Structure 1
């Protein structure tokens, strides 16, 4: 039986799950909810970098990304940070949709899958 490694597990979720060298991150949101879409996106991307590193991988190994924005009109502003954050030629398969967030102050949530 293959080993499954979980980090940050509570009753609801794990912040990451690793299985067969695939790393699945839970949806990541900003902590400082007073920030605008760009500020929250920058914080989320930094948290993704840290989470990937703690799982032995990085953004050059991204496979998929799902992005939820509170207002689809903020997609362009979010992409202003997303696009330069991605390594050249390493864009993952991606979806970006408008969604109601659990806390209305959240403007963006990003969930990624990477490999090692």
Structure 2
């Protein structure tokens, strides 16, 4: 069974199948990469909680930065957020994002524990 979480006309916030959740890319508000990263991660926390999972269950994260020069600033927020001993497989790259105001986008795949 495929479960679509908060589906919209273009995409769902998350899709769950066989105990794995794929979250849509999260972009954040804020003037700095640190603020946008913190907002993205807060959205990830909210969605994971809604589906009965948590950041300890993240399997993979893909992070897109509009400019790799922001890598250290993003990592400073990430490193405080990700639980020690539960770091996921992760890739970070540079990409032109959906709108010029976005400087970071975070895409998460997570396990959803059985109820």
TM-score by length of 2: 0.93
| Superposition deviation, residue 4 in structure 1 | 0.6
- Of residues 55, 59, 80, the one that matches 2:51 is 55
Unaligned runs of 5+ in 1: none
Aligned length: 112
Q: What pairs up with 1:1-116 in 2 under 5 angstroms?
A: 3-30=1-28, 32=29, 34-116=30-112
Structure 1 outlier segments of 4+, above 4 Å: none
| Larger proportion of strand | 2
TM-score when scaled to structure 1? 0.93
SS of the residue aligned with 2:25? Answer: coil
Quote the Cα distance in structure 2 between the aligned partners of 1:10 and 1:86: 29
